[in-house]
Chain A
Amino acid sequence: MTGTFTPRPGAAPLPQQIGAQARMETRLLLRNGEQLLIAVVIPLIVLVSGVLAADKVGLDFARSTVDTLTPGVLALAVVSTSFTSLAIATGFERRYGVLKRLGASPLPRGGLLAGKLGGLLVVEAMQVLVIGTAALLLGWSPVVSVTSVLGALCYAGAGTAAFASLGLLLAGTLRAEATLAAANLVYLLLLAGGAVVFPLASYGDFGGVVEWLPSAALGTGLRSTLLDGVVPLTPLLVLAAWTGLGAFATVRTFKWE
């Protein structure tokens, strides 16, 4: 039998499936206007206005303002994509039955997760390109060495893992609208009070608590790496702990429908 529809079932090779999923995730992330706003526009506003207004509002860092702020703005970009965008997108995937649809396709759950992470990394690379270029134009001069580049990549990866696990926790338990609201709220709270953009020192006594937030760990790690060329270990462990915690809770609570 050789009809048009004669059965010939089979799953595509897993790497091909993951690649396809990552491309799709990237396209959809970039197509969404609100997500672009929090992924690129808000970090750029924070960077540019921070640098321009530093003198006027009396922001006084130990180092040049753009050198101090840029690593944190990059950290903020990672949070916006791996936490806020991912949580919102996944929340609506649950709502619209996309996860169910993909659950009935040959793509395994691990492949779906890998595809999502792939999409996040591609979008983050674009964010780094845009924000990095703007920062360089503003006079940013990071430490560039093998250690600092690898260290920064390491932090970006660890931060993505930690925030993605927390984003999925949110998306897998709350309704889509609640996820949307919570993910944006948490993003704004971390921006203001999570030591992601502003160094821990700016938080006074409160810094001792804030230090253990994943946002502070990511910001501190990137600042130390790009400002001084020193890759600290403790924040990396903090991120790893949040990843473990988030993943554990997500696996137990995630509802696919």
Chain B
Amino acid sequence: MTTPAVAISGLVMRYGDRVAVDQLDLTVKRHTITAVLGPNGAGKTTTLETCEGFRAAQSGTVRVLGLDPRRQRRQLLPKIGVMLQSGGAWSGVRAVEMLSHVASLHAHPLDVPMLVERLGLEECGRTPYRRLSGGQQQRLALALAIVGRPELVFVDEPTAGMDPQGRRTTWALLEELRGDGVTTVLTTHYMDEAERLADHIHVIDHGRLIASGTPLDLTRASGGSTIRLVVTEPFPNDAPLSLQSVLGADTEVARLNERSLLVTGPADASTLAKVSAWCERNDVLPESMTLGQRTLEDVFLQMTGRELTP
């Protein structure tokens, strides 16, 4: 099949005066894990809910598996799985009961006991939904999204608030889904999640697509190395500019917070020496200077001037 899993063009969504999604163009290829990355309020959930048919596109077009999510909703719904960010179950229902119920709405559901075991849901026992831990509720929500054997799964912040074990279980499952030919669209504001899982990343800010590519594309662009400089006293306001002028045009300096700067570019001995000399001249005392590879977090900071996770 050649139609993309998701094709969005010129999508605009407003809430009153506030523009949540602003002329968004975005394509998701089939059989991939595609991450939609952005800070809270960037328009990720609104975009997802438009794809899922919960909201009508106010302007622009949205096609999911070649179908219109509003007008061809009944045709589309069995083909997609939706993981809600929170809630989605009766407060008194038991995890396995809820999963069996949603399974029975589908023609060829996954084997419920298998899914229960894979996601460690047997530990929920007879506990009503409202008393499950956040992680248990998240794992149940994921199970509910995939039990109908969908072609395409939308997962909204799948591991928010999960313990490390739960995150690994979830990631392994999403990777297995991809291996079996399921397309996954995931929103996240965890960089490590996007870097680890995604074949393709769309970075959204203020409802606009600001970058797109594989994790490697995004982190390699404009030099892959970084120097993170942390000092003991807050920097003066002009510190990024002043350091930039010392280092030259092939590096970029961004302020991470009042006591740390990120230098991106060739992190070689010469750059390090210039940074040290600048510290000496400006009478700042380095607490640490760390060399590293540029991460998605850095990319995001450079593109938006803000940190992804506040």
- Does A associate with B in a complex? yes
* Chain B residues positioned under 8 Å from A104 (CB to CB): 52-54, 77, 80, 82, 84
Asked whether A100 and B104 contact (CB < 8 A) given A11-B78, A28-B92, the answer is: no
**Complex: how many Å from CA A4 to CA B97?**
21
In the complex, the answer to whether B91 meets A7 with C-beta atoms within 8 Å is: no
Across the interface, B88 reaches (CB within 8 A) one of A16, A98, A108, namely A98
Query: Which residues of chain B (137-160) have a CB below 8 Å from chain A?
Result: 144, 146, 148-151
Closest residue of chain A to B130, judged by CB? A96
Whether the Cβ atoms of A16 and B77 lie closer than 8 Å is: no
Q: Is A63 an interface residue (CB 8 A)?
A: no
A interface residues with partner B (beta carbon < 8 Å): 1, 3-13, 16-17, 20-21, 24, 27-28, 31-32, 92-93, 96-98, 100-101, 103-108, 257
The verdict on B89 contacting chain A, using a C-beta distance below 8 Å, is yes
- Is B62 interfacial (CB-CB < 8 Å)? no
- Taking each of A10, A101, A107, which has the highest tally of chain B beta carbons within 10 Å of its own beta carbon? A101
The 12 listed contacts between A and B (C-beta, < 8 Å) are A5-B177, A7-B181, A9-B106, A11-B106, A31-B92, A92-B90, A96-B88, A100-B54, A101-B84, A104-B53, A105-B105, A106-B106
Q: Which residues of A contact B148 (CB under 8 A)?
A: 9-10, 105-106
Given contacts A4-B180, A107-B105, contact A28 B90 (CB under 8 A): yes
Known contacts A24-B101, A100-B84, A105-B105; A7/B92 CB under 8 A: no
| B90–A106 CB distance below 8 A | no
Contact A16 B151 (CB under 8 A): no
Does chain A have a CB within 8 A of B213?
no
Q: Tell me whether B77 and A6 are in contact (CB under 8 A).
A: no
Assess whether B78 is in contact with A17, with CB atoms less than 8 Å apart. Answer: no
Is B42's beta carbon under 8 Å from chain A? no
Task: Please measure, in the bound complex, the distance between the C-alpha atom of A170 and the C-alpha atom of B74, giving whole angstroms.
Answer: 27
Secondary structure at the B interface, as helix, strand, loop or mixed, is loop
Considering the chains assembled together, what is the distance between the CA atoms of A7 and B180 in angstroms? 8
* Chain A residues with CB below 8 A from B93, complex form: 24, 28
Among A9, A100, A107, A108, which residue has the most Cβ atoms of chain B within 10 A? A9
Interface centre among A31, A92, A106 (most CB of B within 10 A): A106
Instruction: Please tell me if the beta carbons of A7 and B54 are within 8 angstroms of each other in the complex.
Output: no
Question: Are B92 and A11 within 8 A (Cβ)?
Answer: no
Residues of B near any A CB (own CB < 8 A) = 52-54, 74, 77-80, 82, 84, 86-93, 97, 101-102, 104-108, 110, 114, 144, 146, 148-151, 176-177, 179-182
A98–B149 CB distance below 8 A: no
Q: Which residues of A contact B52 (CB under 8 A)?
A: 104
Q: How far is the CA of A24 from the CA of B90 in the complex (A)?
A: 10
Pairwise interchain contact B180-A5, C-beta atoms closer than 8 A: yes
Residue of B nearest to A2 (CB): B180
Whole-angstrom CA separation of A222 from B84 in the bound complex: 45
Q: Are B89 and A9 in contact (CB under 8 A)?
A: no
Tell me if B150 and A9 are in contact (CB < 8 A).
Answer: yes
A103 to B102, CA, bound (A): 11
Q: Which residues of B are found within 8 Å of A20, using beta-carbon distances?
A: 101, 104-105
Q: How far is the CA of A170 from the CA of B237 in the complex (A)?
A: 57
User: By the criterion CB–CB under 8 Å, are B180 and A8 in contact?
Assistant: no
Chain A residues contacting B146 (CB-CB under 8 Å) are 5
Known: A9-B150, A105-B102. 8 other contacts (CB 8 A): A5-B176, A13-B107, A17-B105, A24-B97, A98-B90, A100-B54, A104-B54, A257-B54
Q: How far is the CA of A104 from the CA of B84 in the complex (A)?
A: 10
> Closest 8 CB pairs between A and B?
A3-B180, A10-B107, A97-B87, A101-B88, A104-B82, A5-B180, A20-B104, A7-B151
A11–B84 touching, CB < 8 Å: no
Question: Are the CB atoms of B104 and A12 closer together than 8 Å?
Answer: yes
- Complex formed: what's the CA distance from A92 to B87 in Å? 11
Determine which of B54, B78, B110, B180 lies in contact with A10 in the assembled complex, contact meaning CB atoms within 8 Å. B78
- Chain B residues with Cβ under 8 A from A98's Cβ? 87-90
Q: How far is the CA of A17 from the CA of B77 in the complex (A)?
A: 14
Contacts of B150 in A (CB 8 A): 7, 9
Q: Inside 8 A of B79's CB, which chain A residues have their CB? A: 7, 9
Q: Within the complex, which residue of B74, B92, B180 is in contact with A108, where a contact is CB–CB below 8 Å?
A: B74
Question: CA of A79 to CA of B96 in the docked complex: distance in angstroms?
Answer: 32
Q: Which residues of B contact A107 (CB under 8 A)?
A: 105
A10 cross-chain contacts in B, Cβ below 8 A: 78, 106-108, 148
Whole-angstrom distance from the CB of A222 to the nearest CB of chain B? 31
Which single member of A1, A8, A21, A92 contacts B149 (CB below 8 Å)?
A: A8
| A17→B149 contact, CB < 8 A | no
Query: What's the nearest-Cβ distance from chain A to residue B175, in Å?
Result: 11
Q: How far is the CB of A162 from chain B (nearest CB, A)?
A: 26
- Which one of B91, B97, B105 contacts A11 once the chains associate, using CB atoms below 8 Å? B105
Q: Return A94 CB to nearest CB of chain B, in Å.
A: 10
Report chain A residues within 8 Å CB of B114. Answer: 4
Distance to closest chain B CB from A257 (angstroms):
8
* CB-based nearest A residue for B154: A104
Alpha-carbon distance A16/B105, docked complex (angstroms): 7
Contact present for B78 and A9 (CB under 8 Å):
yes
Give Cα A256–Cα B299 distance, bound, in whole angstroms.
39
**With the chains together, A13 CA to B108 CA distance in Å?**
11
